[in-house]
Amino acid sequence: MTDGFLRPGISRASRPSRRWTVLFWLLATAAASAGTYRYLRSPALDLERFEIEGARRARTRDVLAVLVPYQGRNLLLLNLAPITAAVEKVPWVERVTVSKELPHGLRIAIVERTPIAFCRRGSSLFWLDTRGIVIAPYDPREAAADFPIVTAADDRLPGAAALLVALQKNFPSYAATVSEIWALSSGGFGIMDGTLRVPLEVLGADAPEKIRALFSLKPEMDARGIQPKVIDLRFDRRVVFSGAYGGGKSV
């Protein structure tokens, strides 16, 4: 009776066993996995070259020095996070984008810090960026540069840099003449420039506006023969001339 339930021309013995089907797919999957593993571990995907972009002040040899330990690693399996962190520690590098260029390359796109001044430390000068971060030692043999010199403790450097950025943005013609900025123990900063040639004392945020106002007073100062040794702009609605007429005067 059971023969009537079989399809014509196919015997029960000729049907494939489910066990053999499962075994076949397991073997096929294992073979594919083994092939993939051998390919991933083969030299076909080894990291062989680095393409560095955007490095102008950052030394290429310094960037390569932190990349060399990763040479020869499997590119497809390579974790880019520690590479990015290592390159960001190189002087002049502000941020970096690392991407894979299969089958053998790694692309390093660098954005460098923008120098705004020199920072004086003892008898040495260091590059200072727009956020008040010390970048690297200045070497006059590598590049001639004309930047103002900042003298301040590390915790005052961001304020000095912010002052210079504000001057460049709001009073660029004056900012171009600034030769030195230093932190005052009484608060604020001192400025020496090549126009007034008198030390100015300012607080920072309102410095561009007050220095502009001071320039409007210059004809009167010259007419009255006022030659102060220091001009203090740290007060509201008042300018203090120290050393004029042999004593402090305010207008």
Q: pLDDT for 196-211, tens place per residue?
A: 999 999 998 899 999 9
| Domain residue limits at 138 | 115-250
**Domain assignment present for 27:** no
**Is residue 3, in this structure, part of any structural domain at all?**
no
pLDDT of 39 over the 90 cut: no
- Enter the pTM of the model: 0.76
**CATH at 105:** 3.10.20.310
> Domain end: 61, 78, 112, which one?
112
| Last residue within a domain, chosen from 62, 82, 112 | 112
Domain count, the chain: 2
Co-location of 165 and 233 in the same domain? yes
Contacts 24+ apart (CB under 8 A), 57-65: 57/92, 57/112, 57/115, 57/143, 58/90, 58/91, 58/92, 58/93, 58/110, 58/112, 59/90, 59/91, 62/90, 62/91, 63/87, 63/90, 63/93, 63/108, 63/110
User: Is position 4 within any domain?
Assistant: no
Per-residue pLDDT, averaged over 221-225, amounts to: 84
- Does residue 130 lie in a domain region? yes
Q: Are strands 178-183 and 189-193 parallel, antiparallel or unpaired?
A: antiparallel
Query: Is there a single domain that holds both residue 124 and residue 229?
Result: yes
Is 74 a residue whose pLDDT tops 60? yes
